[in-house]
Amino acid sequence: MNVQLGSSVRSLPDYEAVRQHLPPNVWKYVLNLLQEHPVLVRVVPHRATKLGDYRPPRLGERWHRITVNEDLNMYAFLVTLLHELAHLRVAALCATGIKKHKPHGPEWKKEFAVIVGPVVEESMVPGDLCVALAAALQRPRAATCSDRLLTLALSQYDSVVDQCLRVEQLEVGDCFQLPGGRQFILGDRMRSRYRGIEFASGIEFRIHYLARVVRLELD
């Protein structure tokens, strides 16, 4: 489902789809954040490469754009949205003359901490997530999935019960399948990713150690 602007650019965006994907008690806080700057938010189908993204206004336009994957549980959706809103805040500062910044540099880390701080301090999420978010604020990462503690804490609230494992739970040489159906043989670990050789092409890929996969039992 998309959250789209009406026929007039002066219309206020409808954030109903966003509200439906968030914990009810955070909505007032999030709505205040969304109303700080003109921003369109789209709730989009699953993407294997990212949970959400931010785009600054196009030339001659005033609207910022954020997308968030629709298949995230409500707490993962919240953290992803706050992550992207921190990007928006930095972009707005740049428009007022702040020096050029790195995508996840000190400016973004500062804004992310400012945005997430009240969520932790006012216990807007369960206690285990408050602990994980507080730890994440000590060293904010470029992607939620790069923070092991936070990713595992958020995954406890996934509603889907399946046979998926994390890549780190497999052994080198195990065969596995990604959600999209592509199949691999697991290779050695390289920092936060593992080598994976695709069956169909023989091409080597890098797969994040926390990616959810299904182990294949081959005859």
Give me the percent of the chain exceeding a pLDDT of 90. 56
Q: Which CATH class is domain 165-216?
A: mainly beta
Residue 44 has pLDDT above 70, yes or no: yes
Q: What is the pLDDT of residue 131?
A: 94
Contacts of 97 (CB under 8 A, 6+ apart): none
Residue type, 20: Q
Burial (0-12, 13-18, 19+ Cβ within 10 Å), 28? exposed
Q: What is the pLDDT of residue 5?
A: 41
User: N- to C-terminal Cα distance for the chain?
Assistant: 41
Q: How far apart are CA 72 and CA 81, in angstroms?
A: 11
Please report which confidence band the pLDDT of residue 168 belongs to, taking 50, 70 and 90 as the band edges: confident
Please report which confidence band the pLDDT of residue 98 belongs to, taking 50, 70 and 90 as the band edges: low
Q: What is the pLDDT of residue 191?
A: 78
Residue 37 has pLDDT above 80, yes or no: yes
Q: Provide the residue ranges of all domains of the chain, joining segments of one domain with +.
A: 16-155, 165-216
Give helix 27-34 / helix 74-95 axis angle, nearest 10°.
20
pLDDT tens-place string over residues 120-166: 999 999 999 999 999 989 877 666 666 788 988 998 898 765 678 88
On whether the CB atoms of residues 29 and 46 are closer than 8 A, the answer is no
Q: Lowest mean pLDDT of 48-57, 104-113, 118-127, name the range.
A: 48-57
